[in-house]
Amino acid sequence: MVATTNHQIRLAAHPVGFPSPNDFSAAEEPIPVLGDGQMLCRTIYLSLDPYMRGRMNQGPSYAPGVQIGETMGGGTVSQVIESNLDSYQTGDFVLTANGWQEYALSDGVGVRKLDPEVAPISTALGVLGMPGHTAFCGLLDLGKPKSGETVVVSAASGAVGAVVGQIAKIQGCRVVGIAGAQKKCDYVTSELGFDACVSHRVDDLPKTLGNACPDGIDVYFENVGGKVFEAVLPLLNTFSRVPICGRIANYNDTGPSEAPNLVPKLMGLTLVRRITLRGFIIFDHTDREPDFLRDVSAWIRDGSLKYREDVVDGLENAVSAFQGLLRGENFGKLLVRVSNDPTR
């Protein structure tokens, strides 16, 4: 039986606060017809990433937002079904951006061919993809960790955080993670080799984190924001660096929090301790992709860098999986398996 329907998930409304299922709609279209200079790709894995929450908002962020009625965008690992492009053949595995749907056309621009013999194809969305690249550049190029320094990373068991911490260990740093569930904390210390991991659910986070960082913090890799950042702030050492990668705790904020304003405290400490806070987005660091792929692939091969995936089956479960991501319920890089992975 040949499939003829392309199932999609579209944005139905700009979420206000935490996204609800009503902010999305399921749609069906005929599978698009191939034109000259195009290929048709079937989605195998859809990547769900925190940055997507920003794209659901009205008004521009650093990239254009998704419009009402438009299919949600997103990175995917796909298989070529049919191709008019010389460089891609039917059956090839590719990193594309099909978005939240089963099929999409591509002209091959921005596509990377994947060799299942080299690494599982799903890793092109995680440890060997955008999250891994983000961790690599954010830690090494912005955080500039030196051997013996203390590196703290939040969302420590996540797609970015787990890579940040393991690269910091390879650089000879003391590495402290921050995560939610105890099983995540156990995983990053026992499996990934972090020196310590603190749950942000403890009663006295500033004190618990302080105890885990007796020499203060030299690099804080920020994925979370909110109360975690407030606990980190007083521990930042003179000349410390804070690459700002994400702030998932604040993505659903609908306005300033009613807590007393801490900007003066933040700016005061930044001045007195000569701290560098720097936001970054991985699109600005494409020149480092070859270095990233070379080094991280080698670290995976020699066993010094491990990864974990959390795979949810079925496009129809993408919305609830994304809600779980915003609540920190995933454990490892979150993927939706939209169709069967023939390499497994």
**Which residues lie near its own copies (CB under 8 A)?**
54, 61-62, 222, 225-226, 229-230, 238, 244-247, 250, 253, 255-281, 284
Long-range contacts of 304-307 (CB under 8 A, 24+ apart): 304/166, 304/169, 304/170, 305/127, 305/163, 305/166, 305/167, 305/170, 306/162, 306/166, 306/191, 306/192, 307/123, 307/126, 307/127, 307/162, 307/163, 307/332, 307/333
Nearest-CA neighbor of 185 among 160, 289, 194?
194
State in angstroms the smallest separation of the CB of 136 from its own copies.
17
As given in the structure block, the two tokens for residue 23 are 């902010």
Considering the complex, what minimum distance in angstroms separates the CB of residue 254 from its own copies? Answer: 11
Q: Which is nearer to its own copies, 91 or 279 (CB)?
A: 279
Closer to its own copies by Cβ: residue 34 or 266 = 266
Rounded to a whole number, what is the distance in angstroms from the first to the last CA of the chain?
22
Least gap, CB of 65 to its own copies (angstroms): 12
Nearest CB to its own copies, comparing residues 80 and 155: 155
Nearest distance in Å: CB 236, its own copies:
10
Tokens linked to 269 = 């400490």
Q: Could you tell me which of 183, 163, 179 has the C-alpha nearest to residue 171?
A: 163
State the minimum distance, in angstroms, from the CB of residue 243 to its own copies. 10
* Smallest separation (angstroms) from its own copies to the CB of 333: 21
Tokens of residue 41, six digits: 């790709």
* Distance of closest approach, residue 259 Cβ to its own copies, in angstroms: 4
SS (H, E, C) 160-212: CHHHHHHHHHHCCCEEEEEECCHHHHHHHHHCCCCCEEEECCCCCHHHHHHHH
Q: Which is nearer to its own copies, 57 or 208 (CB)?
A: 57
Instruction: Name the 3-class secondary structure at 147.
Output: coil
**Pick 1 or 259: Cβ nearer its own copies:** 259
Residue among 14 and 306 whose Cβ is closer to its own copies: 14
Q: Which is nearer to its own copies, 2 or 271 (CB)?
A: 271
Cβ contacts of residue 27 below 8 Å, gap of 6+?
A: 7, 8, 9, 10, 71
